[in-house]
Chain A
Amino acid sequence: MPRPRLRDRPGPEFTRWALLAVPIVSLVLLFAAGAASAREPSDEDTRNAVVRIEVSRAGHDWTAPWKLLPPESVSGTGFLIEGDRLLTNAHVVRDAQQVTVKRNDGSAPALATVEAVDDDCDLALLRVASKVFLRGLRPLRIGDLPQIGSGVVTYGYPLGGLELSTTAGVVSRVEHGAYLEGLSRHLVVQTDAAINPGNSGGPVVQRGTVVGVAFQYVTSAQSVGLFIPAPVVRHFLDDFLDGHYAGFSDLPVRVLPLNSPAYRRERKLPDARSGVVVQEVASGSDLGGALAPGDVLMSVDGQRVADDGTCLLGAARVPFFHLVDMKSLGQRVRFEVWRDGRTVSVEWKASQFLPWARLRQARSKPRYLVYAGLLFVPSTLEYFAAAHPSGARRAAILHELAFRSWEPPADLDREVVLLARVFSHPVNAGVDLSVPFVVERVNGQTIRNLADLARLLDASQQTQDVFEFAPFHHVEAIDHEQARAARTSILTTYGISDDKSL
């Protein structure tokens, strides 16, 4: 079952939060030429290729990060593509412990394994071992970005029944939008074809070709379904061709559409030119040599950027970010900018911004440290969503997190470490903290990240380890030898499998 609502992108507001993959299972890739037949697939071919996916999942408990949540069953949709793989949404198979796929013809279900998953573009590839299961199925072909106003048909297994369901609509608009599962923004296509819980991972088809993968809908409006368009899907699939999935690049810049005539004059931009004003470039990113605040970004790889930040892609206008999205890591991107009253051409190799990549990686599996009954975790959206779902403090700390990712990363390994909980034990008697609190220093040394904290405590020669927390400077002290002695007792008492996962 797909997530039933489109959330606002949680937390920090980034102009661009492009992608990377979470650690990906390396792929023995046989995208063997499953020679597509010249015949346009019939509706029956398409219907046969769409499978129901049932998942037993057990996600991590981010408030008790050493254990899994109780298992639950969810379902979604997938479809066969070339190479005998099934394509679906990442969120359908997230935390999957077992994946079962069922054809539309009543035949026996088969087990599938997750071969690759990228939360940030919300796509995943499954492999079915059973050749019997795939017999007679014709893989669907991935097409292109559909034109606005053109008709599309969705296939899937939404709630309300077990049989395959189809809905029809038109392409309403193309946007650069937030993706549910990641801190990312990619191209998103909106349709009025009904997309409901269970449709997730199902193909959106136009004349027998897949033009997208259904993945979200807007709960606050009617008939606003969203699908991942074919170019993003192809980027995901192509990335596997070399057997190593690298993910999407980051473009850590903030831009402002150049819609103000005054701003345009102040930049002395000729009337014939267009573009967006670079507002901020994340400090420490390798983009710093190419783009600078005040630049007017006029073109990307020769594609003119309009004043609203869009470029022409076929018949559609898409945000210029999409052009960078489609690059592979290491691929050159040429920017033309207006700087100091003249045109300057600069190049940049598409890459990922390390602090953001780390934040995304942090989402895959919770890390923690238990010391003297104090539970320390890195500050992640998952932790806050699970432990502190609302309130000003959460918003403020999330903003602080976002802000820090733009700060000059004198230390790229810096992460915010929180005291998440205190497991009461004589060794921490009297420790009086409301949580979460940010760990600032231990024994006078600034804490850079969770591993740093673990190392520091491990190597401590102090009789008492003194912790300083923020905000509102708060101090606690723990007897070091008592803490060592209490380790096993605390883990046993509270059923904690290990004292750390770094």
Chain B
Amino acid sequence: MTRASSARILVAAVIAQGCVHREAQRPVATQPVWTAPVRAPSEPDPSRSVVIVQVDGVDVDWSAPWGSGKPWTRTLTGIAVDGGKILVSGWGLRNHRHVEIQKAGSIARATAKVALFDADAGLAELTVEDPAFWQGVSPAVLSAVLPGQRAVKLLHAVAEGMRVDVSGGVVTRFEPSGRCEFVHMKISQVDTQHVSVSDVVVVDGEVAGLVTNAANGEAYAVGSRTLIDFANEAAHAPYRGCATADFVGQKLSNPVLRGSLGLGPGDGGWLVSEVWPLGSASGALERGDVLLSVGDTKVDSDGTYADPSAGRIACPALFSQGHHPGDVVPVQVLRHGERKALSVQLKRWPGDQTLVPWYAPESNGYAVRGGLVFQRLSHEYLLTFGKDWESKAPPRVLEPYELERWASSAERQGIIVLTGVLPVAATLGYEHIANLVVDRVNGVPVWSLDELRAAFAHPTGGYHVVTFAPGQSVQRIVLDVQEAKAADASVRAKYHVEEEGVGPATPQ
């Protein structure tokens, strides 16, 4: 899938203000009282910056989103940084309920507050109010450069032993990864039995990154430059999140195609295949444009550029390095044989605006009308079909995820699915219906739960009529308005299901 790895990359961007050094923009710490660093600058000791983070949470069961899913406890590794903050990576804080923090070798635990959790970025910032916790903790030095291909140390918090384990690995390459397309380092020769998400990557006493994924002897870690950006941005009010350019492209390695586009051998260039309607590039780039440069950096024909410390990196990183939502990125394209200078104004990664979002919405997660359960189609919902969801989920709900999940528009914002039916009197005869993509309710096109609710408010002729998208086994069902109204109470009484919402609220 050569194209998948490069061409279909969502061009995203996260950004610190002008890609500045951490030290240059150190926020003023106001609370808690920050102890003086105990290390000498020449002898950095990252182990004094590493803390054990215990997270308790409860997932939402998206197959029954009105109730609680399984409670869980997990341990993450945190890294103390300037300003009395602790950074963790990964999605481990999703659906958290309570977070405690602990120093290696200390039995004492302090309650931590999740000051910021950006699920799209896969990064979080924690604060701890207990001054006693900070005694003996040193802020880590975040490396301003990527380490290159070399050996690294990995620090891994172990809650049971109140300790931090050290193992090793070798950085083999760099590539943009994750929904925000942050530059990640791939680390090989990793003992993944003892390395997990949020472990700290250390090079020459400085923090080089945080692990975001580890399996099969390999780990991916987000680089420290991104951590610096994130920490700086976290201090920015309002927090702007990561930005994306939101288009995909294809390599231009075919010389005949290059010739037909009017490109010379030395021109480089990446052919724009799709521009997501709600994304940053919409209105600037067009399908068929050849992206020649981003800023001052030339884009080569394989869609990469030369990064001084990381080698060849896919060009989405040019949008995800050193920029923020709201920034304007100049680009040069070849359009219909003419070179054009254009500007892409970056927006925040429109995760929840994509047609099929990664995460199910945390609020507004479902609606029940007359015993019919509706949800917005999301990757998280597809995961309810189990480990083999790609085979088990019905094709009619997989198709929009696989083929057009980015392709939301102002009109078509999401896909509403009748995910199931709660058997009550009003749904007699429909008990076995599930996983149907909704087209209209009472004649009104429905692309969101809000539109669905509004449409249910206007039945015609005493009946609610729900129609489904073509190509499905059921096309139309009917509910009696009065029976549906009575069913709402019945659903509450029988199944303890409210008309809308989603499981227990996530603490902010």
Interface residues of A (CB under 8 A from B): 11-13, 15, 254, 256-263, 265-266, 277, 279-280, 293-294, 390-393, 395-396, 398-400, 402-403, 406-407, 428-434, 464, 466, 471-479
Decide: A473 near B475, CB < 8 A? Known: A393-B402, A399-B396, A430-B255.
no
Alpha-carbon separation in the docked complex, A116 to B480 (Å) = 53
A402 x B257 contact (CB < 8 A): no
Q: Which residues of B contact A254 (CB under 8 A)?
A: 473-475
Bound together, the chains give a CA A472 to CA B480 distance in angstroms of 43
A479–B7 Cα distance when bound, in Å, is: 23
Could you say which residues of chain B place their CB within 8 Å of the CB of A429? 253-255
Are A406 and B471 in contact, CB atoms less than 8 angstroms apart? yes
**A260 in contact with B428 given A266-B478, A399-B471 (CB within 8 Å):** yes
Bound: A143/B157 CA distance, A? 74
- B1 A434 Cβ-Cβ under 8 A: yes
Interface size, chain B (Cβ < 8 Å): 55
Q: Do the beta carbons of B403 and A400 come within 8 Å of each other?
A: yes
Whether A407 contacts B470 by the Cβ 8 Å rule is yes
- B398 x A395 contact (CB < 8 A): yes
Please pick, from A259, A294, A396, the residue contacting B428 in the complex, using a CB distance under 8 A.
Answer: A259
Closest to B463 in A: A266
Q: Are B256 and A479 in contact (CB under 8 A)?
A: yes
Q: Is B430 an interface residue (CB 8 A)?
A: yes
B271 touches A12 (CB 8 A): no
In the complex, are the beta carbons of A257 and B429 less than 8 A apart? yes
Chain B residues touching A, majority SS? mixed
Question: Any chain A CB within 8 A of the CB of B248?
Answer: yes
Report yes or no: B254 in contact with A430, Cβ–Cβ below 8 A.
Answer: yes
On whether the beta carbons of B8 and A472 are closer than 8 Å, the reply is yes
CB proximity of A290 to chain B, nearest CB, Å: 18
- Cα A257 to Cα B251 in complex, Å, equals 51
Q: Are A434 and B3 in contact (CB under 8 A)?
A: yes
Q: A406-B471, A432-B2, A472-B274 are in contact. Are A262 and B253 (CB under 8 A)?
A: no
**Which residues of B (397-435) have their CB < 8 Å from a CB of A?**
398-399, 401-404, 426-430
Which residues of chain A come closer than 8 Å to B251, judged between CB atoms? Answer: 432
Among A266, A294, A478, the residue within 8 A (CB) of B256 is: A478
Whether A280 lies near B475 (C-beta < 8 A) is yes
Chain B residues with Cβ under 8 A from A260's Cβ?
427-430, 477-478
Chain A: minimal CB distance from B408 (Å): 15
Contacts of B273 in A (CB 8 A): 472-474
Q: What would 22 A/B residue contacts be, using CB atoms closer than 8 Å?
A: A254-B474, A256-B475, A256-B476, A262-B479, A263-B478, A266-B463, A277-B476, A293-B475, A391-B391, A392-B390, A393-B402, A395-B395, A403-B470, A430-B253, A430-B258, A432-B251, A464-B256, A464-B260, A466-B257, A475-B271, A477-B257, A479-B256
Task: Give the contacts of B271-294 with A (CB-CB under 8 A).
Answer: 271, 273-274, 287-288
| CA–CA, A407 and B254, complex, Å | 36
Task: Specify which chain B residues have a CB less than 8 angstroms from the CB of A400 in the assembled complex.
Answer: 399, 403
Judging by beta carbons under 8 Å apart, are B391 and A390 in contact? yes
Q: Which residue, B1, B287, B429, B461, has most C-beta atoms of chain A within 10 A?
A: B429
Complex formed: what's the CA distance from A472 to B288 in Å?
12
**In the assembly, what is the distance between CA of A184 and CA of B427, in Å?**
30
Please indicate the chain A residues that have their CB under 8 angstroms from the CB of B7 in the complex: 432, 472, 474
A468 CA / B24 CA spacing, docked (Å): 49
- Contact residues in A for B2 (Cβ distance below 8 Å): 432, 434
Instruction: Using CB atoms, name the residue of chain B closest to A433.
Output: B3
Q: Which residues of B contact A294 (CB under 8 A)?
A: 476
A432 to B4, CA, bound (A): 10
User: Is the beta-carbon distance between A262 and B480 smaller than 8 angstroms?
Assistant: yes
A390→B478 contact, CB < 8 A: no
Knowing A392-B390, A392-B398 are in contact, say whether A477-B471 is a contact too (CB < 8 A): no
Residues in A whose Cβ lies below 8 Å from that of B388: 390
Q: Would you list the 3 A-B pairs with minimal beta carbon distance, nearest first?
A: A259-B429, A260-B429, A399-B395
- B221-251 vs A, CB cutoff 8 Å, 1 = contact: the mask equals 0000000000000000000000000001011
Apart from A432-B2, A433-B3, list 11 A-B contacts with CB within 8 A: A13-B395, A260-B428, A261-B428, A266-B463, A392-B402, A403-B471, A406-B470, A472-B273, A472-B274, A475-B271, A477-B256
Docked CA distance A256–B480 (Å): 17
